[in-house]
Amino acid sequence: MKKTSNRLADGREIIYYDLSATAETAVRTAADKRPLPPIGTASEIRHDPLLDDWVGVTAHRNARTYHPPADECPLCPSREGRMSEIPEADYDVAVFENRFPSFRGAPGEELHDGSPLFARRPGAGRCEVVSFTSDHDASFADLTEEQARLVLDAWTDRTAELSQLPGVEQVFCFENRGEEIGVTLSHPHGQIYAYPFTTPRTERMLRSVAAHGERPGGDNLFDDLVAAELAVGDRVVLDGEHWTAFVPYAAHWPYEVHLYPKPRVPDLLALGEEARAEFPRIYLELLRRFDRIFGEDQPRTPYIAAWHQAPFPKGARSRAERLAAREEFALHLELFTIRRAPGKLKFLAGSESGMNVFINDVPPEAAAQRLREVAST
């Protein structure tokens, strides 16, 4: 892998990840000739005292790009007469700072608006766009294993760098695919969020892990959960030498798969070479099965693919709490779709949105059986 960094016209960083160092990739110096003003936007986070979590407030994101025509795609390579976000004429994987970030900048002091209950801070951190390929009409499932490995290496490299930024506590690599999910750009891409806090979902997992470890005979909850799924077996979708994929017993979504490496590691940085080498085959097979769930007339199933990594906790936590948050966590990927049947979507209605109680119309065992049925031949 060859990594090259450059700057866009407004000062944002763009990083190229190339499969090999060739004459074309040896120097990535194509200039961004667009007349862009410097990025001056900033977000803030506000604390919700009832739920004890943070909400980003980002008015500037209302102006972000929305469903541009294919010939105006900002993620395609630039060409004569039409400059995109990527100045080069071609690329393998490109990562750049989001022009409309949810989090950006350095941390600052906590302020209060009229009451100690109304706390806010700068929305410190960074948001990046990851373009998986220069091919506008492809999807992640269309990548070769070599290309998929390059994306994995890019995710890992970005996690390493973003975790070192002041104030950043968690790095989240994810992909949203499909207009049904809310994607506004059809070019195959994902995003990376560097949060200035540990996310509520991760905090909840860590509390469950701690509670499980205190029970008689309790070990690591992630390890016990994966072992239990393998022992029961009827929700296992794929079981490779270094990865296990299964539909969870209490799946929230119609078709939902969790992918865990063997053995447990806290994040992408700790993933061993053998697991890295096997990942492309396992993950591409899962994505291709997702595209076959609902038949040939409904390919390209909309989905969210989300990497859950251990946080890099800072702030007021004790050293023991920081170590536990990392050592006990298990890196895993959660892949799910909101499509529940051909032509039908799973909407987050009253129970889910109002009370965070999910109602799943597809039994997890049936979902796992369907994902086994559509395996590649």
Distance separating alpha carbons of residues 241 and 356, to the nearest angstrom:
36
Name residues whose C-beta falls within 8 Å of residue 164's C-beta, 6 or more positions apart in sequence: none
Give which of 258, 256, 94 is closest to 188, Cα–Cα. 94
Which CATH number covers residue 21?
Answer: 3.30.428.10
Q: Tens digit of pLDDT for each residue in 57-115?
A: 987 776 666 668 878 899 999 998 889 999 999 999 999 999 989 999 899 999 999 99
Is 333 within the bounds of a domain?
no
Name residues whose C-beta falls within 8 Å of residue 84's C-beta, 6 or more positions apart in sequence: 73, 74, 75, 76, 77, 78
Is 234 within the bounds of a domain?
no
Per the annotation, the verdict on 189 as an active-site residue is: yes
pTM, full prediction: 0.95
Tokens of 93: 């994987």
Q: Tens digit of pLDDT for each residue in 230-282?
A: 999 999 999 999 999 999 999 999 999 999 999 999 999 999 999 999 999 99
Is 45 within the bounds of a domain?
yes
Is 334 within the bounds of a domain?
no
Q: By three-state DSSP, how is residue 97 classified?
A: strand
Amino acid at 94: A
Is 224 within the bounds of a domain?
no
DSSP-derived letter for residue 36 is P
Length of the chain counted residue by residue: 377
Q: Give the range of the structural domain holding residue 106, as residue numbers without chain letter.
A: 2-200
Is 194 within the bounds of a domain?
yes
Catalytic: which of 189, 242, 308, 332? 189
Contact assessment for residue 300 and residue 177, using Cβ atoms and an 8 Å cutoff: yes
Is 192 within the bounds of a domain?
yes
Is 313 within the bounds of a domain?
no
- pLDDT value at position 74? 95
Give which of 52, 73, 220, 178 is closest to 134, Cα–Cα. 73
Domain count, the chain: 1
